[in-house]
Amino acid sequence: MARSLSSALLVLLAFAVLIPEAPVRAASPLPGRETPLDLETLLADFARIPGLAARFHEEKHLALLVEPLETRGTIYFAPPGRLARHTEAPLRSTLLLDGEQLRYASDEDRGALDLAVHPMLGVFVDSFRMLLRGDLPGLQMNFVLELRSVGKPEGRRWELVLEPRAEALKRSLRVLQIFGQGRSVSRLRILERGGDETLMVFTDVDSQRVFTQRELDELFELPAP
Amino acid sequence: MKLLASGQVPGNFALRQRLRFRAADGTSGALEAVLQVHCGALVIVGLSPLGQRLFSITQRGYETQVQSFTTQPWPFAPDRVLLDVHRTYLYPVADPPLADGSHTVFLGSFAFVERWQDGRLVERTIPDRLGARMGSVVVSYKGGVAPREVPRRVHLRNGLHDYEIEVETLSRRELICPS
């Protein structure tokens, strides 16, 4: 897998690091709303979660294909930086993000990627983790952020829009949208240049999940070959 | 006769597949792929284990268009991928089934050998030529394949270019082509 990823992406890392931090766009309330939720509050809320578990159903709509590619599984997040994606269908596979290391395994294959060497992939994969760990500077460095919210403070619905800053990433990624309510995420939508779109819908979201040591060892490790 | 015109492929469907390969240079790996036949066009999309698009091949009639989404060289040329797909999944399977044993089958003037057992196609041996060199592609259908069936597991070995591919078909979806 590592062979198939562009080493030219290294250029992006340098570019991303050099980008000055631009101001966050003002949070705009959805119609019918009172005081808007602000980014600092939302991210601070996420920074306090003890862990997260959620079922996901992903639909990847490729412009060339008539029907979307569907994937189902479970994601887990353990602060400060461990994210696991366990896919159950159509193929069993595990994807682990821990620090700068992305590791994956399926029945047929396993491997690892250093996100520092593949920054575009890193930004892409890491954006969701940045939200869950409340990493506002990290999000601001890589994306122009816009937060929309509706409802009263408790259980307020929100939508976070992330537009990539790096020109190279802009060429492939148009926008990321993360939808949620309170400290819970409900949907992740990725719109790519060229018309491809990925939608992940989360259900059974437990954003107060406390993992036992045994769960940490099992859920955040690759299965034995 | 090597490629069929895409319009000759009957039906409208999408196969979701998992591939494992070993190339001549020793490279090995796995990827997901989708083979779609819809309204006379054939599309193959390769996806990385992380779900990223790696390449796409579109065939309309005999015209093909290849898009690569990675700058890394591929262990197989796209035209070989397309050819292997035709040989394995799109060359017609005789209906009614052929008698048990080996048969020389013709697609136009292009000849290859099929081995049948218990009413099922179990192997195709197809000549492959590169300039003056000649080798064989052997496609083994695990458990055999009957007419109108989708082969569940396939092993392909290209003796000329020295590579092997294992393909497992995970699902078949019927598609509708609006008239």
pLDDT in tens, A35-84: 778 999 999 999 999 999 999 999 999 999 999 999 999 999 999 999 99
Amino acid at A122: G
Looking at residue B29, what is its pLDDT?
84
pLDDT in tens, B20-76: 999 888 888 888 999 999 999 999 999 887 777 889 999 999 999 999 887 777 777
DSSP secondary structure code for residue B64 in this structure: E
Looking at residue B75, what is its pLDDT?
74
pLDDT in tens, A10-20: 222 222 223 33
Q: What is the ipTM of this complex?
A: 0.90
Helices and strands in chain B: count of H runs, count of E runs: 1, 11
Please give the Cα distance from A36 to A148 (Å, whole number): 7
Looking at residue B56, what is its pLDDT?
94
Section B142-161 average pLDDT: 94
**Given an 8 Å threshold on Cβ–Cβ distance, is A4 in contact with B29?**
yes
Q: Which residues of B touch A198 (CB under 8 A)?
A: 51
**Model confidence at B141: pLDDT above 50:** yes
* CB nearest to B18's CB, from A66, A91, A125: A91
Looking at residue A9, what is its pLDDT?
31
Looking at residue A119, what is its pLDDT?
63
User: What secondary structure does DSSP assign to chain A, as a single string?
Assistant: -GGGS-GGGHHHHHHHHHS--PPPPPPEEPTT-SSPP-HHHHHHHHHT-S-EEEEEEEEEE-TT-SSPEEEEEEEEEETTTEEEEEEEESS-EEEEEETTEEEEEESS-EEEEETTTSHHHHHHHHHHHHHHTT-HHHHHHHEEEEEEEES-STT-EEEEEEEE-SHHHHTTEEEEEEEEETTEEEEEEEEETTS-EEEEEEEEEETT----HHHHHHHTSPPP-
Q: Which residues of A touch B30 (CB under 8 A)?
A: 106, 108-109
Looking at residue B74, what is its pLDDT?
75
Section B132-145 average pLDDT: 92
* CB nearest to A66's CB, from B29, B30, B175: B175
**Given an 8 Å threshold on Cβ–Cβ distance, is A64 in contact with B50?**
no
Chains A–B, number of C-beta pairs less than 8 Å apart: 72
Positions in chain A short of pLDDT 50: 1-24, 26, 33
DSSP secondary structure code for residue B79 in this structure: H
Please give the Cα distance from B87 to B82 (Å, whole number): 9
- Using the structure block, give the residue that is written with the tokens 């766009």: A25
